[in-house]
Chain A
Amino acid sequence: MRLAWVELRDLRNHRHTVLEDLPDGLLVFVGPNGEGKTNLLEGIFVLYAVGTPRAATAEPLVRRGCERAYARGEVASAQGRALIEVEIPRRGAARMRVNRSPVRRRRDLRRHVRAVLASPADLGIVVGDPARRRGFLDEAVVALQPAADTLSSAYDRVLRQRNRLLKEHEGGGAPVGLEAWNEQLVVAGTALTRARAAAVAEVGPAASEAFERITGSALQVRYASNVPTDGDLEEGFRARLAERRDDEIARRTTLVGPHRDDLDLGVRELRARGFASHGESWGAALCLRLGLAAAIERAIGEAPLVLVDDPYSGLDPERRVRLGEDLRARADRAQVVVTVADEGHVGEASAVWEIRAGEARRRGAA
């Protein structure tokens, strides 16, 4: 999958930025922090994930003083070329077009463009609370299986219904209708659990391999499902609900289900251990994203766009070199776009853009 060109208008600090004739291989955006290289990378990611909230920044996508931002680009994939256009108003839903025809769902973009963005904010997946890891799991589910984008919201709706029922229940015994909501919870919950387990089975090994190439140790990635995954999933879920029934009524909330899932991460040496340094944690976060990219490649038969924001500053020199080698190896099969603040980290790139004050200038161009 290859981006042929991209154009941003009024997106963050980019008033009008056009990148033309994008070559294959490794593309680098270089510039001091705060000048707009991350914004450019996220602007490209919008073509895949418009409207997906990312924790990188609370700053709105629309440039200050403007009503709407635009991102356009042309993607060449095994299915042919697709012109993707996204219009993001300051308030309200984004409008998307593929080959000049409006599309309604993000899923419709994902048929044409797949991208993985790794950014320093992903450190939260490793060091943050379990909600961040569940967020990553669900991103991975959707990235691998675009049609599964309703699983997590469907489960969330059952959960909110059931929690409200438990919360407002007065008096002894179970609230009337609890059994009916249990079954809805089991149906939606097992669907989500299955999808998350399948995603981890795909992403985990690839992430571990990438981590080993960069650090020399394997990464442990284990899906810690809240409901037992050995044996029949539905039966296990129902049995766990029965066990916790009195607790749930006493505490007036749902205590069983994938909203309490986690992802166990660690370094696998002789025994699994936690991450010893910032560099190791960031390496793990980055490798989860790279593992996702590899899993997508296996699933669809071609590599997604890989966008990596500022990968090197958190790493020691040796790991920096190994990551550089890994990204260059990926760039043989797909476009890899990397931002760097330090001129010394540019390395051998197919093309380099200098980013200053929301403008991009291609190095070597007249």
Chain B
Amino acid sequence: MAYEGPIQELIDELARLPGIGPKSAQRLAFWLVKAPPDEAKRLAEAIVRAKERIAFCRECGNVAEGDRCRICRDASRDPTQLCVVEEPTDAATLERAGLIKGRYHVLGGAISPLDGVGPEDLRVQELLDRVERDGVREVIVATNPNLEGNATAMYVAALLKPLGVRVTRLASGLPVGGDLEYADEVTLSQALEGRREM
């Protein structure tokens, strides 16, 4: 069913967001239209502000306010240890658990031919450059413990090993086939303790 003018435009825009189907888009749109004016305005402004102020860190690819993120600017972090993750949310999960002494490297996804994502779509070259430039000694590969995450880990490890760097993978114990995001701190900490050479 199509509505007239602005409401349909809003529905169409919302439906383009990840995880939002046409029905949810419709529900959100009507909620926003019925909400007090400042409620909708606050949301719109937050989106615009985020878009203007938040950039991606040129070092690690994580979200940042400015051209380098808080962690890459923090001189107390161990520059010789890098933890490779798929998405900023994964870095946030590990960071909340306070387990990584070094810094992160966000690939921006995982290799998945079915989704049209190849190694060239990920920040792999940036990772190799960073390892060579910063004298990195250990790379902990913390891509998701599912098929695509494992394939990505293996691909990355094969490129890193010739550089003479220690490459480790979080130990099993993480929910197999799942997302890092859903692992609790104890599990993450055990997975990190038990990380094994690749």
Interface residues of B in 133-158 (CB under 8 A from A): 147-148, 150-152, 154-155, 158
Roughly how many angstroms separate A150 CA and B146 CA in the complex, as a whole number? 13
Q: Is B127 an interface residue (CB 8 A)?
A: no
Q: Is B98 an interface residue (CB 8 A)?
A: no
Interface residue SS majority, chain A: helix
A177 and B111 contact, CB distance less than 8 A: yes
Number of chain A residues whose Cβ lies closer than 8 Å to a Cβ of chain B: 19
Chain B neighbourhood of A298, CB < 8 A: none
Q: Is A181 an interface residue (CB 8 A)?
A: yes
Chain B neighbourhood of A230, CB < 8 A: none
A180 and B151 contact, CB distance less than 8 A: yes
Q: Is A176 an interface residue (CB 8 A)?
A: yes
B111 and A184 contact, CB distance less than 8 A: no
* Residue on A nearest B120 in the bound complex, by CB: A176
Number of chain B residues whose Cβ lies closer than 8 Å to a Cβ of chain A: 16
Q: Which of B118, B119, B151, B177 lies in contact with A184, CB distance below 8 A? A: B151
Interface residues of A in 208-231 (CB under 8 A from B): none
Chain A neighbourhood of B154, CB < 8 A: 179-180, 183-184
Q: Is A362 an interface residue (CB 8 A)?
A: no
B118 to chain A, nearest CB (A): 6
Q: Which of B112, B120, B154 has the most CB of A within 10 A?
A: B154
B147 and A164 contact, CB distance less than 8 A: no
Q: Is A350 an interface residue (CB 8 A)?
A: no
**Cβ-Cβ contact count across A and B, 8 Å cutoff:** 44
Q: Is B2 an interface residue (CB 8 A)?
A: no
Roughly how many angstroms separate A183 CA and B198 CA in the complex, as a whole number? 13
Q: Is A313 an interface residue (CB 8 A)?
A: no
Q: Is A165 an interface residue (CB 8 A)?
A: yes
Q: Which of B113, B147, B158 lies in contact with A165, CB distance below 8 A? A: B113
Chain A neighbourhood of B148, CB < 8 A: 161
Knowing A179-B158, A180-B154, A180-B158 are in contact, say whether A154-B147 is a contact too (CB < 8 A): yes
Roughly how many angstroms separate A154 CA and B155 CA in the complex, as a whole number? 19
Chain B neighbourhood of A181, CB < 8 A: 113, 151
Chain A neighbourhood of B112, CB < 8 A: 161
Q: Is A157 an interface residue (CB 8 A)?
A: yes
B118 and A158 contact, CB distance less than 8 A: no
A157 and B118 contact, CB distance less than 8 A: no
Q: Which of B118, B147, B150 lies in contact with A176, CB distance below 8 A? A: B118
Q: Is A160 an interface residue (CB 8 A)?
A: yes
Q: Is B114 an interface residue (CB 8 A)?
A: yes
Knowing A176-B120, A177-B119, A184-B147 are in contact, say whether A161-B114 is a contact too (CB < 8 A): yes
Roughly how many angstroms separate A13 CA and B27 CA in the complex, as a whole number? 39
Interface residues of A in 142-191 (CB under 8 A from B): 150, 154, 157-158, 160-162, 164-165, 168, 176-177, 179-181, 183-184, 187-188
For the complex with contacts A157-B147, A184-B147, A187-B150, 14 further pairs of A-B residues with Cβ separation under 8 Å are A150-B177, A154-B147, A158-B147, A160-B114, A164-B114, A165-B113, A176-B118, A176-B119, A176-B120, A179-B155, A180-B111, A180-B151, A180-B158, A184-B150
23 A/B residue pairs, CB under 8 Å, sorted by A: A154-B177, A161-B112, A161-B113, A161-B114, A161-B148, A161-B151, A164-B113, A176-B118, A176-B119, A177-B151, A177-B155, A179-B155, A180-B151, A180-B152, A180-B154, A180-B155, A180-B158, A183-B151, A183-B154, A184-B147, A184-B151, A184-B154, A188-B147
